Amino acid sequence: MLSIEFLLNALIAGLLLGGFYAAMSAGLSLSFGLLDVVNIAHPAFIIFGSYLTFYVNEHFGFDPILAGLVFAVPSYFLGVAVYRIYYNCFEKTGAESLRGLVFFFGLFFLIEVILIITYGVDYRLVRAFYIGKSTSIGSVGIAYRLFVPFLVGGMLAAVLYLFLTKTFFGRAIMGVAQDSLAVQLMGVDPIRIKTVAFGIGIATAVIAGSLLIIIGPVEPTIGREYIGRVFAVTVLGGLGSMTGTLVGGLILGVAESFTSSFFGPSWALAVSFGILLICLAVRPSGLFGR
């Protein structure tokens, strides 16, 4: 039973899943990790993205990844609008800790309920030519429904990394994260930077949503399972580090894959919360923390 092939298969599946987890958490790493906006509704935006993708795939036969990229643009503006409300109502008055948290929790719940009302609680899935096929290297099988999200997710993390380190705006975001006042003295409006960063965070969430529905069928309430996962990856990776997010995602993916191979899939969910609790207790700044 316990053969090398079995372990290798679990490892590969975990790594592929991990790449996707990194894509899911990248946006949160930006908004929460760098800018301290506790966007607990992040997974809800991911599920929202899945449903947008499902809609255009079902009715117009759009490719899921293309749909995710197209919808990323309007979702950016959605993110900007959400941050504006958050800033004006909570951050400006310094009431963000308790009420801001409740605000995002309410938003999470609202998105979930609206999706239930519009689409019901049935599982939805998308069609694309690469879903359902797989290839194998030696005895290790690679399913395209995991491999494609892994690729796109990895690219997303890479693009975000380049954006943060190489462009003016990206550096400004890092600047706001490190010392908001100093950035302000340099003539940059930190609120505008934060708005842009939050918008990008939501846009990546919607792209991650299109990847999620490629991996498997989606229903409105699975968002809560991902709260633990995205926060575990973000914290484990060190808040705000893109390299850390990628590594954190891979670790979580492999750990979950092994857990579900050895103990059954129903225990996989405990892994993310376990990692999160251990990480917060032992090393809150994460692996690649500042």
Partner 1 sequence: MSKERKLFLIVAAVLIVGSFLITTQMENRFYYKAAYVVLQYVVLATAWNILGGYTGYVNFGTAAFFAMGAYTAVALIKTWKPPLYVLLVTGGLVSGLLGLGIGYLTLRLKGVFFSIATLALAVVLQMIISNWSYVGGGAGTAILKPRSVPLFSNYDEFLFFVMAALAVVSVAVAWLIEKSWIGRGMAAIRDNEEAAECMGVPILKLKLFATTVSGALMGIAGAPFSYFVVYIEPTSAFHLDYAVNSLAMPMIGGTTTWLGPLVGAVLVGTAQQIATVTLSSEMNLLIVGSLLVGFVVFAPDGLVGLFGKIRARLAGREA
Site residues, partner 1 (CB under 8 A)? 32, 38, 40, 85, 89, 95, 97-99, 101-103, 105-107, 109-110, 113-114, 116-117, 221, 224-225, 227-228, 231, 235, 266-267, 269-270, 273, 276-277, 280-281, 284
Residue 188 to residue 171: CA distance in whole angstroms: 12
Nearer to partner 1, 67 or 177 (CB): 177
Shortest CB 25 distance to partner 1, Å: 13
Residue 280, phi-psi category: left (phi > 0), alpha (psi -120 to 50), beta (remainder): alpha
Please report, for residues 11, 34, 96, 151, 154, the alpha-carbon distance to residue 104 in angstroms, rounded to integers and kept in the order given: 35, 17, 10, 30, 27
Nearer to partner 1, 37 or 56 (CB): 37
Of 217, 206, 252, 203, the closest CA to residue 145 belongs to 217
Biggest CA-to-CA distance, the chain? 64
Shortest CB 157 distance to partner 1, Å: 22
Shortest CB 34 distance to partner 1, Å: 15
Nearer to partner 1, 126 or 271 (CB): 271
Shortest CB 248 distance to partner 1, Å: 15
Nearer to partner 1, 141 or 289 (CB): 289
Of 231, 250, 232, 201, the closest CA to residue 45 belongs to 201
Shortest CB 5 distance to partner 1, Å: 28
Which tokens hold the place of 251?
């670790």
Nearer to partner 1, 61 or 284 (CB): 284
Q: Which phi and psi angles does 13 have, rounded to 5°?
A: -60, -40
